[in-house]
């Protein structure tokens, strides 16, 4: 077991808190087949990135916004098998509300639908594809997440499951915990993950934080007691 300290946690959603893999595979496979692409290739590249990015890569000359709206509509309608991953609810429930948020490549509408379908709490300062210009692996999503909570990225820990997300967190200046829910441990380590675990069930809050003093959103918070996390490393 290893103990680490941080000011706040920035969670990716799919593959970290929620298992939406079957729904993602169904929607993108159907989209790929209809447009003459290999489903496995499209699904692999779609995971962990904004859907608009995937649409642009495969259909550079299409009406990207229209294609993206269709993908989003299908994803919102397909919630079969969307469930919380092990330990997700327990970990989120143990954290102070102002010390965590979700930073996802989904649109806000899709993120809210999946969070509710999985029975997880909706963070007050959710960051989605609607809030950023450059998606993962760019650092913008996690820079935005840290800023919304009022902390420096270097004082935050990012929780991810795919290389694009790991690189986004590292480039933003955060430490990164990666889960082996989507790709193998070696791939995550090569992407820069600081620690590799199986799921949120391998993380416990060792020392609850004291209530925080509210400061102006224009100033970084530096007087808060840090969170102490216990990481139960495999093997």
Other residues' Cβ atoms within 10 Å of the Cβ of residue 218: 6
Q: Is 14 an active-site residue?
A: yes
**Tens-place pLDDT, residues 71-127:** 999 999 999 999 999 999 999 999 999 999 999 999 999 999 999 999 999 999 999
State pTM to two decimals.
0.86
Of 116, 88, 117, nearest to 179 (Cα)? Answer: 88
Q: Domain coordinates of the chain in residue numbers? A: 2-19+82-231, 21-77
194-11-147-106 Cα dihedral, nearest 10 degrees: 120
Q: Is 12 an active-site residue?
A: yes
Q: Name the stretches of the chain with pLDDT < 70.
A: 207-224
* Sign of the CA dihedral with 162 first, then 87, 224, and 230 last: negative
Structure token pair of residue 214: 């509210």
Residue 220's pLDDT is 54
Structure token pair of residue 102: 């979700």
Q: Quick one: what percent of the chain has pLDDT higher than 70?
A: 92
Q: Which of 12, 140, 155, 161 is catalytic?
A: 12
Topology annotation, domain 2-19+82-231: Rossmann fold (3.40.50)
Q: Which of 14, 155, 161, 224 is catalytic?
A: 14
The 3-state secondary structure of 54-117 reads HHHHHCCCCCHHHHHHHHHHHHHHCCCCCEECCCHHHHHHHCCHHHEEEECCCCHHHHHHHHHH
């Amino acid at each position: 077991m290893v103990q680490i300290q941080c000011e706040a946690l920035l969670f990716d959603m799919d593959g970290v808190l929620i298992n939406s893999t079957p729904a993602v595979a169904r929607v993108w496979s159907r989209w790929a087949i209809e447009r003459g692409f290999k489903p496995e290739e499209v699904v692999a590249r779609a995971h962990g990135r904004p859907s608009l990015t995937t649409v642009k890569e495969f259909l550079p000359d299409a009406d990207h916004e229209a294609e993206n709206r269709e993908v989003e509509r299908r994803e919102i309608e397909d919630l079969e098998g969307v469930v919380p991953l092990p330990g997700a609810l327990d970990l989120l429930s143990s954290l102070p509300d102002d010390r965590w948020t979700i930073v996802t490549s989904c649109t806000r509408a899709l993120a809210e639908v999946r969070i509710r379908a999985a029975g997880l709490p909706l963070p007050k300062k959710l960051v989605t594809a609607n809030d950023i210009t450059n998606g993962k692996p760019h650092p913008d999503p996690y820079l935005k997440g840290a800023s919304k909570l009022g902390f420096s990225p270097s004082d935050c820990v990012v929780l991810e499951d795919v290389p694009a997300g790991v690189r986004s967190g590292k480039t933003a200046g955060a430490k990164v915990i990666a889960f082996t829910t989507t790709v193998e441990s070696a791939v995550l380590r090569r992407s820069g993950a600081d620690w590799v675990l199986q799921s949120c069930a391998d993380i416990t809050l060792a020392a609850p934080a004291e209530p925080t003093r509210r400061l102006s959103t224009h100033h970084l918070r530096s007087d808060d007691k840090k969170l102490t996390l216990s990481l139960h490393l495999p093997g």
